[in-house]
Amino acid sequence: MRYISTRGAAPALSFEEVLLAGLASDGGLYVPETLPQFSREEITALRGLSYPALAQRVIAPFVADAVPEDDLRAILEDCYAVFRHGAVAPLVQLGPNQWIMELFHGPTLAFKDFALQLLGRLLDYVLERRGEKVVIMGATSGDTGSAAIEGCRRCENVDIFILHPHGRVSEVQRRQMTTVPGEGIHNLAVEGNFDDCQAMVKASFGAQGFLPEGRRLVAVNSINWARIMAQVVYYFHAALALGGPDRPLAFSVPTGNFGDIFAGYLARGMGLPVSQLVIATNRNDVLHRVLTSGLYDRQPLEPSLSPSMDITVSSNFERLLFDLYGRDGDAVAGLMRAFDGGELRLSPEALADARTLFASHRVDDEDTCAEIAGTWEASEYLLDPHSAIGVVAARAAQRDPAVPMVTLATAHPAKFPDAVRRAGVERAPALPAHLADLYDREERYTVLPNDLAAVQAFMADNLRA
C-alpha cells in the first residue's frame, strides 16, 4: 500500500512513512493510492467478530507489511481492552430506525480514543524499531488533546505539546488534558481560538527548523492518516450489527474537521452499503455552507455549546476535494491556493457529485438544548451537545425512513454538564469511576500569547534530551 498527496507534488510513501509524516511536503494530505475492496461475501464473513478482530481485518490492508499480522493483532487487542464496554462501540435505539452508536467508552470519553489509542501504540512500535525520537504537536478544540495525551503518554520516544484555545474548552475537557502527569507532556493554552492553534500547527509542520537536529514533528490531528484509518472500523461495526451488507445504512456525523465523516466515505468506497452521510454542524457551519452553496470560505468563529465543532477551516475536506476533482493533484493545489486567498467555489459537477452521498444540517444552541431535553423526556437517554446536533440532523436530512439511520455519539454527556443544565435536565451527568476525582487533580498548563514564535520557542526549550 502506497500513499499519495492530495496536491500531487510530494513523493508516494509507505504506511510507516505516512504515520510519521503528517502533512505531505507539498502541503497536501496523504490518502491511499487505491482503496482496498471488500466484496459482499467478504463483509458478510466479518459478522460475529470481536471489535479488535474486525479492526484487524479492516485495517490490515492499509498497514500492509509495516506491522506483522501477530504484532498488529496484539496492538489492537491491547488498544481496545481499555474501553469500558464489552461491545466497544455499542448501539442504542432511540426510535424507529433511529440509532445511536456510542463512541465514548474509551479512557477520555470521546470518539477520538478509537484512533488515538491506536496511534500511540503504532508510534511506540515504529519508533522503538527505528531508534528515533519525535515531537507530537497538535491543536485541539476539546477532545483531541486529552485523547492524544492518554494514547501517547507512555511512549518513551515522544514529547507531546498540545495547543488549546485558552478559556474556550469545557472544564472537563481542559482538566482531562492538564491533569495527566508526565515529564514529556505539555499543555499550551493559547490566547486565541482553535483556528489560530491549528494554523500554528500547520505552519510548524511546514518549517521545522525550530527543532534540534534529529527531531521532527508528528501529527495527532486528523490530518494523520492513521486516525482516519482507525475510524473506518466502526462504520463496518455498525453496519454488521444492523443487517449489513444485506441492507444499506445511513449515518449522521457531528463534525467540524470532516475527518470522522470522511472515514464513513472511505468505508463506502471499500464496499460497505452506505446510502447517505449527513454532515451535522453547529453555528460554525463551513461544511453546511459548502454543501448548500458550493462556496468554501472563512467566517468568524462563534463559541458554542458544542466546542469540539467550533472550527471554521475544515482540514480534511481537502481529501474529499481530491476525489471530487478526479484525483487531480494540480487541480486541488489550485483550489487550496484560492482558499488561502479567501475562498474557493466548487464546480457544478463536483458539487452535484458530493450531494449524491452527502447531506447537511445546521443546528444552533437553542435547538441543541431542545434536543437534549426532548430526548431525555422521551427515553431518559442523555445526549451530549455534539451528539444532540447529530440526532437533530439525522431527522432533518434523512432521505429514506426505511433505511436505518445511525447517529455517531461522539462524546459522553459528563464532559458538558453546563450544556445539560442549560437544557433543563435536572439529572447531572456523572463522570465514570476512573475520572471521579478529576476536579481534585492538580492541573499543569502554560498560557502563551497567540504568537507562533513564542509557541515554537517554548517547545524548543522544553524537549527532553
Q: Which residue has the cell 458539487?
A: 351
Active-site annotation holder among 112, 133, 202, 415: 112
Taking a C-beta distance cutoff of 8 angstroms, is the pair 224, 119 a contact? yes
Specify whether 112 is catalytic.
Answer: yes
Rounded Cα–Cα distance for residues 256 and 280 (Å)? 8
CA torsion angle 386 391 392 393 (round to 10): 90
Cell digits for 344?
474557493
> Cβ-count burial of 48 within 10 angstroms (0-12 exposed, 13-18 middle, 19+ buried)?
exposed
Instruction: Give 194's contacts (C-beta < 8 A, 6+ positions apart).
Output: 139, 140, 141, 164, 165, 168, 301, 310, 311
Question: CA 299 → CA 167, 231, 257, 291, 460, distances in Å?
Answer: 21, 28, 15, 15, 33
Burial profile 234-261: b = 16 or more Cβ within 10 angstroms, e = fewer? bbbbbbbbbebbeebbbbbbbbbbbbbb
Q: CA triplet 180, 83, 438: central angle to 5 degrees? A: 30
Bridge partners (DSSP) listed for residue 100: 92, 407
Cell digits for 158?
515522544
Report the catalytic residues: 112
